[in-house]
């Protein structure tokens, strides 16, 4: 811990553009973790670098969709060197994260059918570095459950805006008690359990955020995704995509 230092990180955003950067800076953030859906790591890295500057660090990451579409479990990794596809078993993804010594974060635990369950947290307790205990998409009952699970397993906490819409950026962040100047610094802070606080809005603005993000979630998880998965050809993060050199062909769930 470094006395007097607070570094504010929105630990998970899905959108990145000029407006997002402007809002992040206006909110006093120092960094964003950028992990868009169905986007390969090289493209994420390139875009993150393009939007980073002396005022705001944009850290590339991957939220991997493990399992099938009906029973998928999202897991967020920071500090990956080699690309990892979606639609592989959870155990395969976790083994890859460990091999690459990535920081492993659990977004929205036990939420709907897109999250790690309590049993998964126990199984991978030695691999997981932090659990999200507040998500602005959630209702209070979901956030209480996430917080209780984090405490039960003694996982360090994080929060994020989980922004799929640019106006959501800045409504929640994790304040680390250490300077963070690079992706490697953030990975180290997460893996070392550096002291931190979760900070979020909890008034009318927060509930407006919940409503708009949930509305977007409903849209994103219905026709849009059906169109992408089944009508638009192979996703760039499909395990049988040529970019993965056949490494995941035998574990692909599709």
Summarised one tens digit per residue, pLDDT across range 141-193 is: 999 999 999 999 999 999 999 998 888 898 999 999 999 999 999 999 999 99
Q: Is 162 helix (H, G, I), strand (E, B) or coil?
A: coil
* DSSP character string of 120-161: HHHHTTTT--EEEEE-TTS-HHHHHHHHHHHHHHTPPEEE--
pLDDT at position 195 is 97
Half-sphere exposure of 192 (CA within 13 A, CB side): 12
pLDDT in tens, 98-118: 999 999 999 999 988 889 999
On the question of pLDDT at 234 being above 90, the answer is no
Nearest of 88, 85, 62 to residue 73 by alpha carbon: 88
pLDDT in tens, 29-38: 999 999 999 9
Where are any strands of DSSP class E within the chain? 7-13, 31-34, 57-66, 73-78, 103-106, 130-134, 157-159, 172-176, 196-200
146, 156 Cβ separation under 8 angstroms: no
pTM as predicted: 0.90
Residues 6 or more apart whose Cβ sits within 8 Å of residue 235: 38, 86, 228, 229, 241
Q: Quickly state the pLDDT bin for 2 (edges 50, 70, 90).
A: very low
Local structure of residue 251 (DSSP, 8 states): G
On the question of pLDDT at 203 being above 50, the answer is yes
On the question of pLDDT at 211 being above 60, the answer is no
The architecture that CATH gives domain 7-251 is Alpha-Beta Barrel (3.20)
pLDDT in tens, 43-67: 999 999 999 999 999 999 999 999 9
């Amino acid at each position: 811990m470094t006395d007097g230092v607070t570094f504010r990180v929105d630990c998970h955003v899905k959108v990145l553009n000029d407006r997002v950067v402007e809002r992040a800076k206006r909110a006093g953030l120092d960094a964003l973790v950028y992990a868009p859906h169905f986007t390969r790591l090289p493209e994420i890295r390139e875009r993150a670098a393009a939007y980073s500057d002396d005022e705001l660090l944009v850290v590339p990451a991957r939220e991997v969709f493990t399992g099938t579409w009906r029973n998928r479990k999202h897991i967020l990794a920071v500090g990956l060197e080699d690309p990892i596809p979606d639609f592989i078993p959870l155990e395969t993804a976790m083994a890859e994260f460990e091999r690459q010594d990535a920081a492993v974060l659990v977004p929205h635990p036990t939420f709907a059918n897109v999250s790690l369950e309590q049993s998964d947290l126990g199984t991978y307790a030695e691999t997981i570095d932090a659990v999200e205990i507040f998500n602005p998409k959630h209702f209070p009952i979901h956030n209480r459950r996430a917080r209780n699970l984090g405490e039960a397993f003694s996982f360090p906490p994080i929060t994020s805006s989980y922004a799929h819409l640019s106006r959501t950026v800045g409504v929640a962040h994790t304040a680390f008690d250490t300077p963070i100047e690079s992706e490697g610094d953030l990975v180290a802070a997460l893996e070392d359990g550096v002291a931190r606080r979760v900070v979020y809005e909890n008034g009318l603005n927060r509930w407006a955020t919940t409503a708009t993000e949930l509305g977007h979630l409903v849209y994103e998880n219905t026709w849009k995704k059906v169109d992408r998965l089944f009508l638009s050809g192979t996703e760039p993060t499909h395990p049988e995509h040529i970019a993965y050199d056949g490494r995941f062909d035998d574990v692909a769930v599709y």
